[in-house]
């Protein structure tokens, strides 16, 4: 049942920027995705969540670590192997305005991947498949000859989804697929993704900054901060019992559309700003803003450990080797 | 309660190559002194156009305030000359925009930009302006303000830039502050900081705020009253509690249902099917008819006459009309008999 389809092991991605400085976009991130589940990756801008998605896709070369998909190392594939490999893994992008070629009709957009992979010998069959895909994503066949500018944002995102489905992939990386859309349309697209997952047994890596939407769609969620994974667990557990101080602050910062709750809520307001990934803090990267920071936090990087069953966290507060010190008094 | 602003039957159109877009179509609302009024709605509903019209920032041509009045302190802003309007902007009415980077001039120091407004509008020395600028930076929570005055916008983070923009907007002590999606470009933890700041400045300065946003969570936190817009019309107005707990317009209900709630468990989201109408040729009746699960024959033909539900709560929906209620009651009764 819980077959791991994707395994990311100690993945690092560093970029060299001006003056030979190194930007540590992703640092030692490990997680796995089970077949058929939706794994959510959340964090604020600049935390490295999109970089992870792109490195998994092979759009970026890794700096260190491994990405294993179905037992194969993604970054060690030959060009020929890659070609076949990407039939299984597709991506949906954030901006439905920028990710569709304005000079191609919807039919051309959706059939291009099929042509590249030579899926259909007859044009007729290919066109039938395009129509079928359009209907699956809630558009209709009359839309096939139109251009992207004739569609609304939500409809364009549906076209992007149809294109991603054109090769019948198993695994889809959705990088902020709904953040450019209006709320009532976001719900439409999220429901569509859920339905498609049920029908086609898809596995999703869902990257977003909106924790309330990620919780809605994901089975498990990983929380990132400044290139590091700080907590990972089932989505209910993350909301019910967040462990990492950053997760707690993030959850409490999200306003809830209910005035009574909103007015009585205690909020953890994080002081200060996100440090630069070019020169991240020593030890735990969150310590500069952490209300619970201890001496050890600046010296030693906290270990990634399973604190409760299937609940991982990287924080010294839960590190038993240091002893159960009272975090408030230290 | 004293009304500081009253918008009456406002119409704004834009002439384009493809025809005239009727972006705002007869909008009526008012703002009480010292309150926060939220204008909510989805992209293209006319919320930003409405607020730009109050500031007279509609580019003419192609845009035009084709009808209506905007009464601010007894004066109709639509009739003021550009020169008089310029004396009002930034002094009596200020505005904050979504993107703090584009709202600041990258080639001038923060200090110059903060002082500029003050020196333009008030006869004040550069030194006195600097004192005031430092005071404002302190109010909006920028540490070591004296040193930071000499810095440029790129040396500040997004959240800090938005604080500077807020300080700039408040430096002449305006009575009305219009904030157009002020936290949309910010991360949630920074958004939380900025929302706290809004509450603080309102407490300190007593400024009245019009907040334009699509985020109902933000509204639940800081608004007093809410205006819901759809396709250039205000379809429901009420206090925060009335709109959240007793919404009467099907669009308001749909909007509230389509937002994912962090505090509720996994039920499926209920989106509003379809898309808003084309504002080149808006429907004669209620613009929500095509997407409304309760639409009746009349809805498509005639725009609903507003119904007053309480002193503060108004809704434009035929379902609230007595005749519709009677009809629904009889239908319910006959089904019950069967």
Tell me the mean pLDDT in the region B90-102.
88
Residues in A closer than 8 angstroms to B195, CB to CB, are: 255
Q: Residue A133 — very low, low, confident or very high, per pLDDT cuts 50/70/90?
A: very high
Interface of B with A (CB under 8 A): 42-43, 157, 159-160, 187-193, 195-196, 214-221, 240-241, 244-245, 254-256, 258-263, 265-266, 268-273, 275
- Which residues of chain A neighbour B259 with C-beta distances below 8 Å? 183, 187, 212, 257
Q: How far is A274 from chain B (nearest CA, A)?
A: 9
Q: How far is CA A208 from CA A78, A180, A217, in A?
A: 31, 11, 11
Taken in order of first residue, the domains within chain B and their CATH numbers are: 3-102+176-334 (3.40.50.300)
Determine what percent of chain B is predicted with pLDDT higher than 90: 53
Using pLDDT thresholds of 50, 70 and 90, give the confidence band for residue B72.
Answer: very high
Closest residue on chain A to B273 (Cα): A188
For residue A44, what pLDDT is reported?
86
Work out the pLDDT band at B337, boundaries 50, 70, 90.
low
The band of A327, judged by pLDDT with boundaries at 50, 70 and 90, is very low
Tens-digit pLDDT profile for residues A9-39? 999 999 988 878 889 999 999 999 999 999 9
Contact B87, B121 (CB under 8 A): yes
Query: Residue B78 has what DSSP assignment?
Result: G
Beta strand pairing call for A64-69 and A4-17: antiparallel
CB pairs under 8 A between A and B: 125
Longest dimension (CA), chain A: 73
Q: Do A258 and B192 touch (CB under 8 A)?
A: no
Contact yes or no for A273 and B265 at CB 8 A: no
Query: Which of B220, B255, B262 is the closest to A239 by Cβ?
Result: B262
Distance in angstroms (rounded) separating the CA atoms of residues B170 and B73: 19
What's the gap in Å between the CA of A262 and the closest CA on chain B?
A: 6
Is A154's CB within 8 Å of B195's CB?
Answer: no
Q: pLDDT for A219-253, tens place per residue?
A: 999 999 999 999 999 999 998 999 999 999 999 98
DSSP-derived letter for residue A76 is G
CB B64 within 8 A of CB B42: no
Cβ burial, residue B81 (10 Å; 0-12/13-18/19+)? exposed
Taking CB atoms and an 8 Å cutoff, what residues of chain A touch B261? 212, 256-258
Tokens at B76, concatenated? 């109709």
Digit-coded pLDDT (tens) for B148-169? 999 999 888 888 898 899 999 9
Asked if residue B333 has pLDDT above 80, the reply is no
Residue A326 has pLDDT above 60, yes or no: no
* Chain A residues whose beta carbon lies within 8 Å of the beta carbon of residue B219: 257
Contact criterion met (CB < 8 Å) for B157 and A269: no
CA distance A189 to chain B (A): 9
pLDDT 10s digits, A146-178: 999 888 888 899 999 999 999 999 999 999 888
Judged against a pLDDT cut of 80, whether residue B17 lies above it is answered with yes
| B50 close to B29: Cβ distance less than 8 angstroms | no
State the sign of the Cα–Cα–Cα–Cα dihedral A79, A84, A85, A88.
positive
- CA nearest A89: which of A97, A101, A77? A77
d(CA A50, CA A54): 6
d(CA B20, CA B11): 12
Contact A192, A142 (CB under 8 A): no
ipTM over 0.95: no
Kindly state the average pLDDT of the residues B20-39: 93
**What is the predicted pLDDT for the residue at B264?**
76
pLDDT in tens, B252-280: 999 998 888 887 766 678 888 888 888 88
In eight-state DSSP terms, residue B302 is S
Which chain B residue is nearest to residue A237, measuring alpha carbons? B265
pLDDT band at A321 (very low <50, low <70, confident <90, very high): low
Burial tier of B280 (Cβ tally within 10 Å: 0-12, 13-18, 19+): exposed
Average pLDDT over chain A reads: 88
Crossing angle between the packed helical segments B126-139 and B110-121, to the nearest 10 degrees: 120
A191 and B271: CB-CB below 8 Å?
yes
Contact present, B44 and B37 (Cβ < 8 Å): no
Backbone angles phi, psi at B93, to 5 degrees: -125, 125
Mean per-residue pLDDT over chain B, rounded: 89
Q: Is B4 helix (H, G, I), strand (E, B) or coil?
A: strand
The Cα of B172 is separated from the nearest Cα of chain A by a number of Å equal to: 27
pLDDT digits (tens, 9 = 90+) for A6-15: 999 999 999 9
Which domains can be identified in chain A, with CATH numbers?
Answer: 4-318 (3.40.50.300)
CB count within 10 Å of CB A282 equals 12
Q: How far is B275 from chain A (nearest CA, A)?
A: 8
Residue A81, pLDDT above cutoff 50: yes
Minimal C-alpha gap between A71 and chain B (Å)? 32
CA–CA distance from A258 to each of A187, A247, B198, B257, B264 (Å)? 18, 21, 19, 12, 11
């Amino acid at each position: 049942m819980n077959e791991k389809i994707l395994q990311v092991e100690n993945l690092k991605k560093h970029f060299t920027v001006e003056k030979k400085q190194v930007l540590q976009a992703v640092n030692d991130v490990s997680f796995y995705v089970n077949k058929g589940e939706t794994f959510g990756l959340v964090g604020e801008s600049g935390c490295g969540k999109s970089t992870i998605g792109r490195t998994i896709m092979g759009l970026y070369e890794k700096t260190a670590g491994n990405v294993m998909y179905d037992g194969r190392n993604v970054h060690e594939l030959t060009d020929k192997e890659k070609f076949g490999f990407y039939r299984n893994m597709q991506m949906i992008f954030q901006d439905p305005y920028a990710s569709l070629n304005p000079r191609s009709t919807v039919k051309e957009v959706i059939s291009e991947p099929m042509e590249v992979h030579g899926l259909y010998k007859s044009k007729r069959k290919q066109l039938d498949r395009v129509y079928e895909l359009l209907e699956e994503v809630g558009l209709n066949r009359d839309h096939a000859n139109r251009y992207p500018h004739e569609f609304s944002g939500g409809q364009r995102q549906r076209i992007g989804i149809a294109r991603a489905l054109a090769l019948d992939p198993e695994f889809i990386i959705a990088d902020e697929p709904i953040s450019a859309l209006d709320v009532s349309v976001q719900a439409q697209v999220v429901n569509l993704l859920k339905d498609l997952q049920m029908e086609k047994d898809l596995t999703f890596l869902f990257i977003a900054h909106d924790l309330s939407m990620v919780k809605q769609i994901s089975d498990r969620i990983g929380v990132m901060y400044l290139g590091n994974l700080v907590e990972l667990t089932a989505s209910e557990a993350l909301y019910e019992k967040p462990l990492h101080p950053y997760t707690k602050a993030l959850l409490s910062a999200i306003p809830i559309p209910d005035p009574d709750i909103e007015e009585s809520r205690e909020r953890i307001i994080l002081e200060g700003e996100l440090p630069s990934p070019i020169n991240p803090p020593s030890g735990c990267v969150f310590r500069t803003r952490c209300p619970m920071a201890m001496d050890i936090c600046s010296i030693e990087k906290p270990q990634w450990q399973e604190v409760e069953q299937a609940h991982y966290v990287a924080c010294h507060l839960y590190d038993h080797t240091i002893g159960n010190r009272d975090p408030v008094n230290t | 309660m004293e009304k500081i602003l009253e918008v009456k039957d406002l119409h704004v159109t834009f002439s384009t190559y493809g025809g005239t877009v009727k972006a705002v179509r007869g909008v009526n609302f008012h703002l009480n002194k010292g309150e926060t009024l939220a204008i909510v709605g989805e992209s293209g509903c006319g919320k930003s156009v409405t607020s730009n019209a109050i500031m007279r920032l509609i580019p003419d041509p192609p845009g035009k305030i084709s009808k209506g009045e905007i009464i601010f302190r007894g004066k109709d802003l639509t009739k003021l000359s550009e020169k008089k309007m310029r004396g009002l902007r930034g002094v009596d009415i200020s505005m904050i925009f979504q993107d703090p980077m584009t709202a600041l001039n990258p080639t001038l120091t923060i200090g110059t930009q903060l002082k500029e407004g003050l020196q333009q509008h008030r006869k004040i020395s550069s030194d006195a302006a600097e004192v005031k600028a430092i005071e404002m930076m302190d109010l909006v929570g920028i540490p070591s303000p004296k040193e930071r005055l000499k810095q440029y916008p790129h040396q500040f983070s997004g959240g800090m830039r938005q604080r500077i923009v807020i300080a700039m907007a408040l430096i002449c002590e305006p009575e009305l502050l219009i904030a157009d999606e002020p936290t949309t470009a910010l991360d949630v933890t920074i958004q939380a900081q900025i929302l706290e700041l809004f509450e603080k400045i309102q407490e300190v300065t007593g400024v009245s705020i019009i907040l334009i946003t699509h985020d109902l969570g933000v509204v639940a936190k800081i608004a007093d009253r809410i205006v819901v817009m759809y396709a250039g019309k205000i379809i429901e107005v009420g206090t925060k509690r009335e709109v959240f707990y007793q919404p009467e317009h099907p669009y308001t209900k749909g909007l509230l249902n389509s937002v994912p709630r962090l505090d509720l468990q996994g039920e499926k989201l209920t989106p509003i099917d379809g898309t808003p109408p084309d504002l080149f040729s808006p429907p004669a009746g209620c613009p929500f008819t095509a997407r409304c699960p309760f639409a009746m024959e009349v809805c498509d033909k005639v725009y609903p006459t507003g119904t007053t539900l309480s002193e503060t709560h108004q809704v434009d929906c035929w379902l609230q009309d007595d005749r519709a209620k009677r009809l629904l009651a009889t239908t319910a009764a006959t089904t019950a008999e069967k």
